[in-house]
Structures are given as structure tokens and as C-alpha cells.
Amino acid sequence: MIDFDALVLKPASLIFEIKVSVAPLVTQPGAPAYGATGVYNKRDLDVEMQDGTIFSDHEVSLGIRLWDFAVPPDQGDLITITDTRHPAFGQQYWVGDSDEDGQGGAMLLLRTKEPSS
């Protein structure tokens, strides 16, 4: 069996990861925020509407290694970019969705608006 996490995800994350703070508001209510790392991605999205106009938006995500977390962040938790080298330094995001990749990682879809209760 090949350990994809150890052979690929860990070495790649050491190159591309940024520092973040995780406030586990949903996954661990009442627990303090803690430091973590992940691979930040911002992807532009263009959607053609029925009338031919283009709606432009973007999608922000954070790739994480599940091995790094006792309880991984999930929907409703708060992520703050704390890496001063990164252009998104200080930006806060709510985890809108979390998708495990089956290979030791997960992709957190980040939102700028607080989820409705």
C-alpha cells in the first residue's frame, strides 16, 4: 500500500502551505482557536447568464492534511489567514464545505459571509 499522505501531501504542503488560525466554533464549541497550516487557492469563476452577460466571481479554498488535526475544521468553523507573507493576510473566512479526498487530505471551501443559523 502506498502512503499518499506521507509521500506526496506532506512534502508538497511544506512547500506551498501558509499559516492560518482555526476557531473551531462548530467542531469543538468552546475550544480556543489554534494555529494550523494549509494550501490556499483562489480560483476565478465566470458564468454566462441566459441573456449572454458574464457573471464573475471567485472561489477560495484551503487544502489541509487530515493527519495534522485531531478534529479537522468543518462547516461553520472560522479560518483566519495569519501568514504575514500572504496577500490575504488578516482575511477571515467561514468554512462553507469540507470535502475529503480519500488520500489523507481535505479541501475546505471558504466563504466570507457567516453561515445562517
Residue of 35, 21, 36 whose CA lies nearest to 91? 21
Overall pTM > 0.75: yes
CA angle, 90 then 88 then 115, to 5°: 70
| pLDDT score at 3 | 82
Average pLDDT, the chain: 92
> What pLDDT, in 10s, does the model give residues 19-31?
999 999 999 999 9
> Residue 117 has what pLDDT?
59
pLDDT bracket for residue 8 (50, 70, 90):
confident
Determine the average pLDDT of the residues in 50-68: 93
From the list 107, 81, 113, the residue with the least C-alpha distance to 94 is 113
Amino acid present at 87: P
Cell of 22: 482555526
**Percentage helix, strand, coil, to 5, in the chain?**
15, 45, 40
